């Protein structure tokens, strides 16, 4: 696994009317997390490919696009054309997961699969070797500002064990209720990429918020068994 902690602020918590300014404010981040919701797979409607294009126009930070949509098989190409650097789709929504992963790789992007809180890690068994990223949802997807589900830590340990068993090193990302207060435990359990929405954009000094979460997470690296 990567021996550092990466931070991906979610623009779900940003001011979209001032997107350029809010992206400049997170220039020390490792990724920009773009939550795409379709109002069907999850009960909210957010961003489309045009927002990804806008992100790519105004920042050099890689775009980490999280598709919370019911038809990723049909829609993934639009986000690849928009310039997504990483595309993560939900296992629960995919009809042909391997085909989607191949399409993402063929476009030169990184491929990830996300698991909802009730989806077991065993769902990754047949595809873990093909993934660049595994996203474990620590809330039920659809809204920002939710509380972290404690059972996520157990799932992170299971993902880390599966990766060690197979000899692979995808990024292990966590999304939902992440902040400086719980970053150490999340990283200790196995994560190395932390999505933070309100924990970054809810603070006046976004760079300081990113640094605080990163440093808290790094303390978890030292506690890993």
pLDDT above 70 (res 1): no
Q: What is the pLDDT of residues 158-178, one digit of tens each?
A: 999 999 999 999 999 999 999
Nearest to 128 by CA among 96, 174, 171, 94: 171
Q: 22, 30, 35, 85: which one is catalytic?
A: 35
- Cβ-Cβ contacts under 8 Å for 128 (sequence gap 6 or more): 134, 162, 163, 166, 168, 170
pLDDT band of residue 144 (cuts 50, 70, 90) is: low
Query: Which two three-digit tokens encode residue 55?
Result: 């992100």
- Here the tokens at position 142 are 């659809």
Q: Each residue of 79-136: pLDDT tens digit?
A: 999 999 999 999 999 999 999 999 999 999 999 999 999 999 999 999 999 999 999 9
Catalytic residue among 22, 30, 64, 175: 175
- For residue 24 the two structure tokens come to 């400049």
Residue closest to 199 by CA, chosen among 190, 191, 211, 186: 211
Taking 70 as the threshold, does the pLDDT of residue 30 lie above it?
yes
Backbone φ, ψ for residue 70 (5° rounding): -80, -15
DSSP 3-state percent helix, strand, coil across the chain (nearest 5): 40, 20, 40
Percent of the chain with pLDDT over 70: 97
Residue 143 pLDDT more than 80? no
Which strand (E) or helix (H) includes residue 164? helix 152-166
Strand spans (E) along 91-163: 110-115, 133-137
Count the neighbouring beta carbons within 10 Å of the beta carbon of residue 24: 12
18 pLDDT tier (thresholds 50, 70, 90): very high
Q: What is the DSSP letter of 45?
A: B
Note the pLDDT of residue 125: 97
pLDDT of residue 3 exceeding 80, the answer is no
pTM reported for the whole predicted model = 0.95
Query: Which 3 state secondary structure label does DSSP give 10?
Result: strand
Every domain of the chain and the residues it spans? 6-221
Nearest to 129 by CA among 87, 92, 166, 89: 166
Write down the CATH number for the domain with range 6-221.
3.20.20.70
Q: What is the mean pLDDT of the chain?
A: 95
- Structure confidence at residue 49 as a pLDDT band (50, 70, 90): very high
Assess whether pLDDT exceeds 80 at residue 37: yes
Question: Nearest 5°: phi and psi at 215?
Answer: -65, -40
Q: Given a cut of 80, is residue 76 above it in pLDDT?
A: yes
| Residue 106 annotated as catalytic | no
Question: Residue 2 pLDDT more than 60?
Answer: no
pLDDT above 80 (res 182):
yes
Asked about 73 being catalytic, the answer comes back as no
């Amino acid at each position: 696994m990567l021996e550092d902690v990466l931070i991906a602020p979610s623009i779900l918590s940003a001011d979209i009317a001032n997107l350029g300014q809010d992206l400049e404010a997170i220039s020390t981040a490792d990724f920009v997390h773009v939550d795409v919701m379709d109002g069907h797979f999850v009960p909210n409607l957010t961003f489309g490919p045009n927002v990804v294009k806008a992100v790519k126009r105004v920042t050099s930070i890689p775009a980490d696009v999280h598709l919370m949509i019911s038809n990723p098989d049909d829609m993934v190409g639009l986000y690849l054309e928009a310039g997504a650097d990483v595309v993560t789709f939900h296992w629960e929504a995919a009809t042909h997961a391997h085909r989607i992963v191949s399409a993402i790789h063929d476009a030169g992007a990184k491929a990830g699969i996300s698991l909802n809180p009730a989806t077991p890690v065993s769902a990754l068994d047949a595809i873990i070797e093909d993934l660049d990223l595994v996203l474990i949802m620590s809330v039920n997807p659809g809204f920002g500002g939710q509380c972290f589900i404690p059972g996520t830590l157990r799932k992170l340990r299971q993902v880390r064990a599966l990766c060690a068993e197979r000899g692979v090193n995808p990024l292990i990302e966590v999304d939902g209720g992440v902040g400086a207060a719980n970053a150490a435990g999340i990283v200790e359990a196995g994560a190395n990429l932390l999505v933070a929405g309100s924990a970054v954009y809810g603070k006046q000094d976004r760079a300081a918020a990113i640094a605080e979460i990163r440093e808290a997470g790094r303390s978890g690296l030292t506690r890993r068994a």
